[in-house]
Structure 1
Amino acid sequence: MTLLNLTRAWPALQEQTTTHVILPNNIQSDHPLQVLWLFHGLGDSGNGWIRKTNLEVLTKYTNLAVITPEMGRSFYMNMANGLPYWDYLTKEVIPEMRKLLPLSANPKDNFVGGVSMGGFGALKLVFTHPNWFSAAIAISSVVDLSILPELMPDWRGIFNDPIPKHYLEKLASQAPQSSLKKIRFYDCIGDQDFLKADNDSFVTYMKTRLNLNVTYKTSPGDHDWLYWQSVLPDVLTWLLKARLDNGRSVLN
């Protein structure tokens, strides 16, 4: 495996940030890599996935590229009183990484996931751009923004009062349903997580109201890296199956 830290200036943010990348050893010039865009949670950084899990070891068996950008405390938004992180992600990070690295742009080869705030970001991205991806992974996700005042004292940097209600539900309902139904969703959360009831309700909404293809797993665990590390092998195993079902072999 190859681990890269790509630091560069971004016009949207008018500052330098670092994007963390895991690349497989098996890279073929005529065969762009499948890629997992993997998002961090609130109070963490893009290298949290690398420092706090064995992601690098596990991805040895997937032949995936993994891209983890730095998204600050943005909740993957253009902040009301801050920087335009959403534009930075969608208009700069994703297309620029494809220019710099041998990444496939085919939706069948693109997957998005995240934890907590990053799970919210992954769901927002796939509901906004369902034609970009074939699979989405939401781990211990924030799915109801009304909890923000409990999570972060600086939430007004993201939203002017009031906080939007049913934000993800509205995005999902407005997305092209034919495209959304082609996507595989994996949602998991610990039984002791304070966000579990919210996730129970949101998964029910996705399954019953939108008739989406959702795998929902719960198991003992809290809202912490002990749980997230423990579920990572299952998450990647599920993703391998999604890749096979989309017509690509595990080893490309």
Structure 2
Amino acid sequence: MARITCDFFSETLMMSTSMTVLLPEKTSNQIGMQNKTGDRSVYPTLFLLHGFSDDHTIWTRRTAIERYVSELGLAVVMPDGDHSFYTDMAYGRNYWTFLTEELPRVARQFFPLSDKREDNFVAGLSMGGYGALKWALHKPDHFAAAASLSGVLDIASHVQSQDKNNPLAEVLYRVFGDQDIRGTEHDLLHLVNQLNQSEFAVPNIYQACGTEDFLYQENLAFKEACTTTKLAVQTTFDPGTHEWGYWDHHIQKVLEWLPLSTTK
């Protein structure tokens, strides 16, 4: 695998930002064959999102993701989402527009990545689990599969909480303002119901959360909300807390679950 730190200017964010990208490497023999035929290979892609306290480098620093994908022929794009909850912030930058529109366009401009739905997947942990499912539920025609590890899946309840001792309270205010977001485009449970009533093909969903995680109950609620819909959700609720040992183990489960074509 090649690991690339890509610094670039985002027109959406109006600032320089970065992404870490893992790309499969070809052997010299494969390169020779490619040049001879004039064929340009493109890779299936996993967009992998970080959590609240981290950045685009964290997956490669705290897990062995590079080793896990090395034999899969899979590219991994890890953007920087700051504290945005991957949302166009009420008092901040437009990270939702950046993530869902600019990032894929820029990444495919820079790197040989497939734009086909069946070749694209999104996953994330905690805040990134919310962002991954929000992206996939909003744009089901873009992804074949989406995964959440210990995701913040009932963001509305956190926003509605008026507990000023909650360290996230100020951040959530900057992201969502003082609006009630239940039943809006930010509410995953609302998006599940909307997608269930649509004619779109739906992405497969993988959901994992530790039974000792403080987000366990809302993960249970998300699973239950999906049981009467057309969404296919594979769930793993097993012993664990909100920490990297759990995520390092379960990202391997996600990679095994992804519907990667063996012909690539």
> Same fold, TM exceeding 0.5?
yes
Alignment correspondent of 1:177: 198
Residue 21 of structure 2 contacts residue 78 of structure 2 at CA under 8 Å; is this kept in 1? yes
Q: Deviations over 1:29-70 (max 9, x none)?
A: 533100000101101111111100000010112110000000
Alignment correspondent of 1:35: 45
Q: Deviations over 1:50-98 (max 9, x none)?
A: 1000000101121100000000000010000000111111221111111
Q: Deviations over 1:122-180 (max 9, x none)?
A: 11101111000101111100011122563513221101113412511222322363424
Q: Percent identity?
A: 34
**Alignment partner of 2:224 out of 204, 221, 225:** 204
Q: Report deviation, 1:15.
A: 0.8
CA RMSD of aligned residues (A): 1.6
Query: Which blocks of at least 5 consecutive residues in structure 2 are unaligned?
Result: none
Residue type of the alignment partner of 1:133:
F
Alignment correspondent of 2:208: 188
Q: Report deviation, 1:121.
A: 0.4
Query: Which blocks of at least 5 consecutive residues in structure 1 are unaligned?
Result: none
Give the 3-state SS of the residue equivalent to 1:179 in structure 2. coil
Alignment correspondent of 1:48: 58
Residue type of the alignment partner of 2:11:
P
**Alignment partner of 2:172 out of 140, 155, 170:** 155
* Aligned mates of 1:69, 1:170 — CA distance in 2: 26
Alignment correspondent of 2:18: 18
Give the 3-state SS of the residue equivalent to 1:154 in structure 2. helix
Residue type of the alignment partner of 1:23:
L
Residue 154 of structure 2 contacts residue 189 of structure 2 at CA under 8 Å; is this kept in 1? no
Give the 3-state SS of the residue equivalent to 1:75 in structure 2. coil
Give the 3-state SS of the residue equivalent to 2:227 in structure 1. helix
Residue type of the alignment partner of 2:139:
H
Q: Report deviation, 1:207.
A: 2.1
Q: What is the TM-score of this pair, normalised by structure 1?
A: 0.91
Alignment correspondent of 2:74: 64
* Aligned mates of 1:33, 1:25 — CA distance in 2: 11
* Aligned mates of 2:97, 2:255 — CA distance in 1: 28
May I ask how many residue pairs the two structures share in their alignment?
Answer: 243
* Aligned mates of 2:199, 2:226 — CA distance in 1: 14
Q: Report deviation, 1:206.
A: 1.2
Alignment correspondent of 1:168: 188
